[in-house]
Structure 1
Amino acid sequence: MSDTDPVAADPNQAVEAAALVVEKPLITPAAIDEETLFILQMFDQMDAQAPLMRLVIGASIVGISLLLLLITRFHFKRRVGRMEALPDDRYKALRWQAQDLLSAEDMKAFRVSFTQWIGRFVSLVFILAAINGLLMTSGWTLRLAARMINGFYQIVSFIWQGFVSYLPNLITIVLIIMVARFVIRTLSMVFDGIRTRRIYLKNFYPEWADTSFGIIKLLIYALTAVIIFPYLPGSSSPAFQGISIFVGVLVSLGSTTAVANIIAGVVLTYTRAFQIGDQVDVAETRGRVVERSMFVTRIQTLKNVIVSIPNSMVLNNNIINYSKNMGQRGLLVHTGITIGYDVPWQVVNRLLIAAAEKTEGIAESPPPFVLQVSLEDNYVAYEVNGWTRKPEELPRIYSALHANILDEFHGHNVEITSPHYRAVRDGNPVNVPEVLPRDDEDGESETKEGKA
């Protein structure tokens, strides 16, 4: 050995260095907070006064936790079994504005799933309590047990302090919602009275009541949300504000068509273009209006087909309402026919009126009438008109009218033709019918018409 070797020079220093290396732990324990240290001191005092007390308490916690765990599992299992055995009609569907948001089957599945998760949570709490009691029985795991107790206390304390500190804001939110609900219910009664004609407002039609109430209710909801927003937890955080802006941008970009349909629906309501049950012709679709929702108008065609038309398309097209001006006379049914000049117009008029009078659905009063629409080169154009109060039966009425016209003309040997003539002046008589007196209605006149 050299003279410079410290171990050889001073053996006592080498022994002390080796002792320091042995006493130094390989893993440094984590720092203990004050709450955990306080719990450990309580355990030390308990061990000093009664050495077996901590073991008894730990074993009691384990036994009671396991017993409660078994009772909880049995109770929730039995409860879930009873809920699943009940028929679906025992559960009420979640409804909002006459629509089923969740059916009875969905509500049953939701309640069963919710009960199962509650049972799992309670079971987890008892399992953790049993583990904590088991850790309390050994000095090696006493510090871990103290940390678990402190963690549970911190969680409960955090939730309770957060609830207490948020309680004034919660009370404010509840009061604002109560006031908003009171205002909405009051307005609901007012507009319900207007809709049922129990309340009369000048120049305000009953069919406007539902739409007006919906708009006002939407504005109240929006105002309530704006007032409540500052009282919500985390509303002042940048993350919450960023998410709100992002959602607002998505809604504004993706709802252009939806907003257009909503506005069009409101405009259609206040213009009173049609009502539910009216016979209309919109966008080449003819039928009865069966529904007018926020976005679309549904029409049941004469072929019993439901056609959904966006409100914006309805607003941009001409709307023909066959039921709007029924009044005392009703709707005018009309059809045209062309007859040659060789048949007197009086005969054509009487035959057309007789056909209209025999048609079921055409009213007797006011009586049908005929118009001489035009005098063409080779024929005369006639139009027969009659009144009806059954716009939903227009196809059948037109079909019956056309059939009766054929029967009347064929029964009186009058051809429904539009002849073309070539005039050759060779001395032959001109093909002009005999002029009949307009006021002559006796048998002689009828004989002349027959000859003609």
Structure 2
Amino acid sequence: MNDVQHYSNLLLQYATEAGMKILAAIALWILGRWLIRIADKLLRGVLDRQHFDPMLTRYMLSFMNIALNIVLVVAILGYFGVQTTTFAALVAGAGVAIGAAWSGLLGNFAAGAFLLVLKPFKVGDFVKAGDVTGTVKEVGLFVTSIVTLDNVLTFVGNGKILGNNIENYSTNDYRRVELKCQLSSDADHVAAMELLRKQVQAIPNVLTDPAPVIEILEFNSVGPVLTVFPFCNNAHYWQVYFDTNRTIRETLTQAGFAYALPKQVWVGKAA
């Protein structure tokens, strides 16, 4: 009977100690997360006051949050008696294994750092990066988020972006809208070009300097093909694009230019 009482007391003692440790660990986790949120707000405030680049701000905050959460987990494990040196060795070994298996992920991480240093684009720029065209929303630790023209949020690996060509349409003050106009072989191309120069220049937001380029680009079986290249600010690109297409159609139709249709040649059998 004494043995049963003894073991019952030991069991109660261990359960009480374990329960207290679990409650303490929960309290540490809550307190640690609260402190991490405070540190996040403080660092964000400092960076905002210093007018840091928004991409660099997000990058630093993400890195700090990951590092502090790792420290918090190690501290809680240490409280439970887990040797932190052993844990560090396990983390290092796991890091080697993960690095070998996830080299692409680490490559994206490194590429993200280079994107922040080189700054080929910033948040809000309209770019073509990693074969995706759209507006940059955020540059993260591993991926860059881009909102495409059809309003789809697309995540592109930083390694793919840095390894390919990057086209930043927002850097320069203006860009060229590239359109073509097919004329028939018997059309007066000089008159057509003069009409288009006048009407295209009158389109809202088309720049006068540089002036629209309207010249003969090439010839095909139908007739001459004209270039119609107005210039505009990037923000007005699609408005100028659609207005120029409509202007080409309306100008040539009202001037009486015939439709440029492919010529058909009929080959009959000899009698």
Is the TM-score greater than 0.5?
A: yes
* 1:343 and 2:188 correspond: yes
CA-to-partner distance for each residue in 1:29-73, whole Å, 9 max, x for gaps? xxxxxxxxxxxxxxxxxxxxxxxxxxxxxxxxxxxxxxxxxxxxx
Residue 299 of structure 1 contacts residue 307 of structure 1 at CA under 8 Å; is this kept in 2? yes
Gaps of 5+ in 1: 1-140, 164-176, 198-204, 421-452
Aligned counterparts of 2:7 and 2:77: Cα–Cα separation in 1: 36
Determine which of 218, 235, 246 is the counterpart of 2:83: 235
**Partner residue, 2:112:** 265
* 1:310 and 2:157 correspond: yes
Gaps of 5+ in 2: 22-32, 264-271
RMSD across aligned C-alpha pairs, in angstroms? Answer: 4.7
* 1:255 and 2:102 correspond: yes
Q: How many pairs are equivalent?
A: 250
CA-to-partner distance for each residue in 1:173-212, whole Å, 9 max, x for gaps? xxxx9x9999877654432212xx3xxxxxxx63454156
**Partner residue, 2:48:** 192
Residue 216 of structure 2 contacts residue 225 of structure 2 at CA under 8 Å; is this kept in 1? yes
Residue 318 and residue 256 in structure 1: after superposition, are their counterparts in 2 closer, same or farther (change >3 A)? Answer: same
* 1:386 and 2:262 correspond: no
Residue 286 and residue 371 in structure 1: after superposition, are their counterparts in 2 closer, same or farther (change >3 A)? Answer: same
User: Secondary structure at 2:171's aligned position in 1?
Assistant: coil
Residue 191 of structure 1 contacts residue 209 of structure 1 at CA under 8 Å; is this kept in 2? no
* 1:372 and 2:204 correspond: no
User: Secondary structure at 1:280's aligned position in 2?
Assistant: strand
Structure with more contact order per residue of length (Cα contacts < 8 Å, sep ≥ 6):
2
Residue 373 of structure 1 contacts residue 383 of structure 1 at CA under 8 Å; is this kept in 2? yes
* 1:412 and 2:252 correspond: no
Aligned counterparts of 2:231 and 2:92: Cα–Cα separation in 1: 60
Normalised to the residue count of structure 1, the TM-score between the two structures is 0.43
Higher Rg: 1
* 1:400 and 2:247 correspond: no
Task: Give the alignment of 1:163-312 within 5 angstroms.
Answer: 187-194=43-50, 197=51, 206-207=53-54, 209-211=56-58, 213-214=60-61, 217=64, 221=68, 233-235=81-83, 240=87, 243-312=90-159
CA-to-partner distance for each residue in 1:256-284, whole Å, 9 max, x for gaps? 22211222222223332233333223344
Amino acid at match of 1:336: K
Residue 234 and residue 369 in structure 1: after superposition, are their counterparts in 2 closer, same or farther (change >3 A)? Answer: closer
Residue 296 and residue 230 in structure 1: after superposition, are their counterparts in 2 closer, same or farther (change >3 A)? Answer: closer
Aligned counterparts of 1:324 and 1:333: Cα–Cα separation in 2: 16
Structure with higher strand content: 2
Residue 336 and residue 155 in structure 1: after superposition, are their counterparts in 2 closer, same or farther (change >3 A)? Answer: closer
Aligned counterparts of 2:105 and 2:245: Cα–Cα separation in 1: 45
Residue 392 and residue 186 in structure 1: after superposition, are their counterparts in 2 closer, same or farther (change >3 A)? Answer: same
